Structure 1
Amino acid sequence: MVLVKHSEHKAVDGPADYFTGNVTIDSMFQPEGDRSYSSAIVNFEASARTTWHTHPKGQTLMILSGEGRAQIEGQEIFKLEPGDVVWFPANVRHWHGAAPDQAMSHVAITGESNGKVVDWMEHVTDQDYLGKGV
């Protein structure tokens, strides 16, 4: 057993290259040994969001608080609420973040493939973020 005390991790600001708005990322654990996935708590202020991106092994989000949004390219935008669990399959282009008027926090669990957990792409435009479907 390995115990990682919460006091041992440090939240960092989400880089502007990969996020729009104010985001903090609190890495819980990284792939190590037989564990081929990582986890983080990600906090999005209102209207903050990721860029478009994919994950080589997919990603699971567990919404902790607030209200969020998520979209797979070509599909409707979905509203996310506490208790919701979202699965993005491997290599599927998507984004996620907070609602326009409310912050959101989620746990992200992401699989690793050949040392990589994410492929970041371009920013989600305001028009796409505020699109139909919610």
Structure 2
Amino acid sequence: MEHITETPTLKAPADRFTGDVYLNMIEVPSDSARLASALVRFTPGARTNWHSHAKGQVLYVTDGVGLVGTRDGNVVRITAGETVKCPAEEEHWHGATDTTLMAHIAMVVGDSSGDGTTWLEPVTDEQFTAALDATGR
């Protein structure tokens, strides 16, 4: 058994996120387990860049209200207690709404080269506003 009493809160890198986002890593891929998981906290309007995961991603919302969007224009509004599953290689983004914080636990299964995430370009303000409008703000 390993008892981890504290993980530091890190500011998410600006080249992968818009706005203020904070991470607490729960698990990183290792030789014995390929799970990567983190508690991710988004301030209002903050969001990930477009990205995909080689083996998909599971998001479990712990607090607040957020959005998850895909390249085909599908957007869902997410709240505490809800789970979103993004399939392998699906380009998507997620973050808080423009007026609320949102926190989720993000989980991916990585491979021998890391967590299997491919980071892409930022979600534009126009794309973010369209997602808000599509979900009734």
TM-score, L = length of structure 1: 0.93
> Cα distance, 1:2 vs. partner?
2.7
Q: CA deviation at 1:31?
A: 1.7
TM-align CA RMSD: 1.1
Between the aligned residues of both structures, percent identity stands at 32
| Pair 1:77 & 2:78 matched | no
Whichever residue aligns with residue 3 of structure 2, its letter is: L
Deviation at 1:115, TM superposition (A): 1.8
Counterpart-to-counterpart distance in 2, 1:57 and 1:20: 24
Residue by residue, what CA displacement relative to the aligned partner does 1:22-53 show, whole Å, maximum 9, x if unpaired? 00010011122431111100000000000000
- Matches for 1:78-93 after TM superposition, within 5 Å: 78-93=76-91
Q: 1:3 — aligned with what?
A: 3
Tell me what 1:129 maps to.
Answer: 128
Q: Distance in 1 between matches of 2:20 and 2:4?
A: 26
Residue 110 of structure 2 aligns with an amino acid whose one-letter code is E
Tell me how far apart the structure 1 counterparts of residues 80 and 98 of structure 2 sit (CA, whole Å). Answer: 16
TM alignment of 1:6-17, pairs within 5 A:
7=6, 9-17=7-15
In structure 1, how many angstroms separate the alpha carbons of the residues matched to 2:43 and 2:118?
A: 23
Report the CA distance between 1:72 and its aligned residue: 1.4
**Aligned partners of 1:75 and 1:2: how far apart in 2?**
42
What TM-score, normalized to structure 2? 0.91
CA contact (8 A) 1:56 1:116 kept: no
Contact 2:54-2:89 within 8 A present in 1 as well: yes
Whole-Å Cα distance in 2 between the matches of residues 114 and 73 of structure 1? 27
- Give ranges in structure 1 of 5+ residues lacking alignment: none
Counting matched residue pairs gives 132
Unaligned 5+ segments in structure 2 are: none
Give the counterpart letter for 2:134 in structure 1: G
How far apart are residue 75 of structure 1 and its match? 3.0
